[in-house]
Structure 1
Amino acid sequence: MKGHVAGALRWRDLPAALLHWLRRGHASGEDFRAAFARSLGIGVDELKLFGSGRAALHAFTATLELPAGSEVLLPGYTCVVVPNVFMHLGLTVRYVDIPADSFNPSAEDWSAAIGARTRMVVVPHNFGVVTAGLDLLRAKHPDVVFVEDAAHAWGGVESDDAAEHSGSGDEVSTGMVGAGGPGHGRGRVAGTLGHAAFFSFEYSKPLTTGTGGALVVHDAALRERFAAFEAKRPALHAPSTSTVVKQLLTLSWHRLTMSLPRPALNALVAILRTPSRMLGVVAKTPDSEIAGDSQPDYRAGLHPLSAAIGLTQARRFAEIHALRRAQSADYDALLGDLPGWERPASTAGAVLLRYPVLLPDTATRDAAIEALAQAGIVGGTWFDDVVHPKGSRRFGYAEGDCPHGERAARTVLNLPLGRHARLSAAQRAAVRAIAERFGGAR
């Protein structure tokens, strides 16, 4: 199957990571930290590792000690773990809708939404499409902290053109196109554009350690504040051995699913589903956390063995990013002249996590996904709700607040990218035929 998980992980990375951990022990964490910082072009002092991306966001927000009544703006197209952080910290959130032709609110959308009580804005780079214009926002709203949600955006860059516009006050386009894309400039790396940023290393992210995350504090004054605040708190604790084993088993399972043809995968799933659930060997976000009824362990750190797994991928960042760019360009060429499959506008420097398209309606999207599955291609549905996944508490959100986000959740389809998403000639032909069959003019 050609799918979305463990997209940078090779089988040989696992024994290599084990050997590195046995040799370096706890220093494996510092090795990974240095390698990941290098991939972003920042100093190691700007970056701290956590047990998850949500833990990184929680820790940073806590250090700001926002006063009662403060408001946080979130995109009307996000993952439940983001608003849950602010729910657990007792802060108010308000959602800003995405445009009809994009997966991220624009700089202009954010600026218009900022009010007297707004103290933080979480700016996403959904699917790896970088939101431009943060320099302009920071200059125009100096009392607001801008945090990048870079969970999808390892290696993504703000184009040179966008960077120039953000400094001049001109409008910045981050929308979608029917065919082709804008200029091919390269600029600053996602995660270094705002005051701070958080990354996720979950199974489906561009780099995976099973679970894990990182915080970048790019602003020097806030970095000093963060260090002083953290020094007064208990140190992050490593996850238990049983938790790490569960994460590694789940990571290995996800990697295996990317190696099997569909019939073999379906047979193996049928055999293992019941015993794996009974034994509790699958590591995933608990349903109670998605529902908002429980909190994750926000003080969990990243196990050194997990860090060693991340290190094997971080060292290959240029190769990994180049592959995703090439695959995105291939989808551009494959789908560029077709109506009905709206695609993100991205520069040559973009590094997409998944290749997202918007289809005319939900029924068409679901039919296309089934057709892709017959061709051995997993068609994803990130995000399937304004506050993904469907069925979450949707903290602070009311139906109708973000109609464009709701429409995207109903009609989005993701095509896979990464090491395990290299399409054969037959699969490329199938994607083209499915797009012609299920696209149609809106």
Structure 2
Amino acid sequence: MKGHVTGALRWWDFLTATLQATLDSEASLLKFRTAFATSLGLDAARVTLFGSGRSALHALVAGLALPPDAEVLLPGYTCVVVPNVFLHLGLPVRYVDIAPGNWNPDAEAIAQAITPRTALVVLPHNFGLCMAGVEALRERFPAVVFVEDAAHAWGSRDAHGRMAGTRAQAAFFSFEYSKPLTTGIGGALVLNDLALRARLARRLPVLRVPRRGQVLRQVLTLAWHRLSQNLPGGALRALASLLRWPARVMGAVARTPDTELSGDSAPDYSLGLSPWPAALGLQQARRAEAVWALRRRQVEVYDTLLAGAPGWMLPRHGKGEVLLRYPVRIDDAAQRAAVMRGLLALDIVPGVWFDDVVHPAGSLRYGYEAGACPQGEAAARAVLNLPLGLHADLSPRQQQGLRALAQGRSA
């Protein structure tokens, strides 16, 4: 089954990471931090590891100690965990719509939305597509803190060769199951601005070590996701059905609670990254160039297969960008539904990330008013993503079937 998780993870990494974490747990964290920073062309002093990407963002914003009436601008196409950080810190937010035919806001739209109350702006690189104009915004609004949401964008470079996550004053990354580099759950905060690093030097939290049970659930969930990438669709559904009940009873699956999605509870933002998951991340970070080259090659395959597909809008990407998923828009609902059924028949998982302006659909839209971001809402209705990564190479049969679907023929 070609899916969207564990895109850089090999089975061998589990054994190597277990040995590394057992022999020298502290070294695992330090080596991963250094290898991740190196992959971005940065000194490790700029990087702090966290238990999740949302925790990294929370630590940054809490450390800034913004006044309660300070305003935050968010992209009108994001994940619920981002606005929930500001919900839990009691800061008001406004959303800036994405640009027509794009998955990110336009820099000028951000500029027009900034007011004297605006203290912080989150700039996304959705799907690994780099938002343009970051440096110009920093120069134009020196009093505003710009933060890159680089959760999707490990390894992406913009048209000028600048790495995502290194362009604004700060950035946060996610190492969740479906991200380009995964530790199960985890994240990183990158502080690029020297003045900001000095300001936060004594304000970042002292992180707690996760309990062993939590770490075990993360790794077991990661192993399950890894296994799912090698099973045919029928076998995967049968095994999932068989294991669903015992997994729930034993609490063996790590997932974001529904109460967090609804905003009724906050995650434990004080959790750090455990050595075992860090050792898993280390194996992937050391293969960064190979991981990125594979995704770029797979994107080229999709570009060729889907060229000229009627009703499909393909992503406009640069040569240096590393996509998390290959996002397309199919605005005709009946056509999109038919394509999704066809993909499943080909053992290709049709992703629907992001299915709402504040993904996932049905979660809390903190600070969002329906209709405020019409482009984001339209994109959410039409989005369909195709998988990329180590386990996502399509067979000749799948390539032929995908091409047929794109041309409106039976797969």
- Shared fold, TM over 0.5: yes
Between stretches 313-322 and 357-366, larger displacement belongs to 357-366
SS of structure 1 residue aligned to 2:131: coil
After superposition, give the CA deviation of every residue in 1:101-133 in whole Å (9 maximum; x if it has no partner). 000001111111111211111000000000011
Tell me which residue corresponds to 1:427. 398
Tell me which residue corresponds to 2:387. 416
Tell me which residue corresponds to 2:98. 98
After superposition, give the CA deviation of every residue in 1:255-293 in whole Å (9 maximum; x if it has no partner). 000010111111101111122122221101000000000
- Counterpart check, 1:81 vs 2:81: yes
1:78 corresponds to which letter in structure 2? T
Written as runs of structure 1 = structure 2, the 5 A alignment for 1:59-208 is: 59-160=59-160, 187-208=161-182
SS of structure 2 residue aligned to 1:248: helix
Tell me which residue corresponds to 1:260. 231
Number of aligned residue pairs? 410
2:196 corresponds to which letter in structure 1? L
Distance 1:341 1:40 in 2: 33
Distance 1:212 1:88 in 2: 20
Tell me which residue corresponds to 2:35. 35
SS of structure 2 residue aligned to 1:276: helix
Question: Aligned residues: percent identity?
Answer: 58
Tell me which residue corresponds to 1:377. 348
Tell me which residue corresponds to 1:16. 16
Tell me which residue corresponds to 1:210. 184
Contact 1:125 1:148 in 2 (8 A): yes
- Counterpart check, 1:275 vs 2:264: no
- Counterpart check, 1:227 vs 2:234: no
1:105 corresponds to which letter in structure 2? P
SS of structure 2 residue aligned to 1:421: coil
Distance 2:87 2:60 in 1: 15
TM-score by length of 1: 0.91
Contact 1:341 1:359 in 2 (8 A): yes
Of the candidates 242, 258, 275, which is equivalent to residue 213 of structure 2? 242
Tell me which residue corresponds to 1:405. 376
Distance 1:150 1:402 in 2: 21
Contact 1:361 1:410 in 2 (8 A): no
Please identify runs of 4+ aligned residues in structure 1 that moved more than 6 A: none
TM-score by length of 2: 0.98
Shift of residue 338 of structure 1?
Answer: 2.0
Contact 1:364 1:438 in 2 (8 A): no
Distance 1:50 1:193 in 2: 20
Contact 1:8 1:419 in 2 (8 A): yes
Shift of residue 438 of structure 1?
Answer: 7.9
Distance 1:402 1:278 in 2: 41
1:225 corresponds to which letter in structure 2? R
Distance 2:333 2:310 in 1: 17
- Counterpart check, 1:347 vs 2:318: yes
Shift of residue 339 of structure 1?
Answer: 2.7
Unaligned runs of 5+ in 1: 161-186
Contact 1:381 1:413 in 2 (8 A): yes
Contact 2:331 2:381 in 1 (8 A): no
1:336 corresponds to which letter in structure 2? A
Tell me which residue corresponds to 1:293. 264
Contact 2:125 2:150 in 1 (8 A): yes
SS of structure 1 residue aligned to 2:203: helix
Contact 1:145 1:195 in 2 (8 A): yes
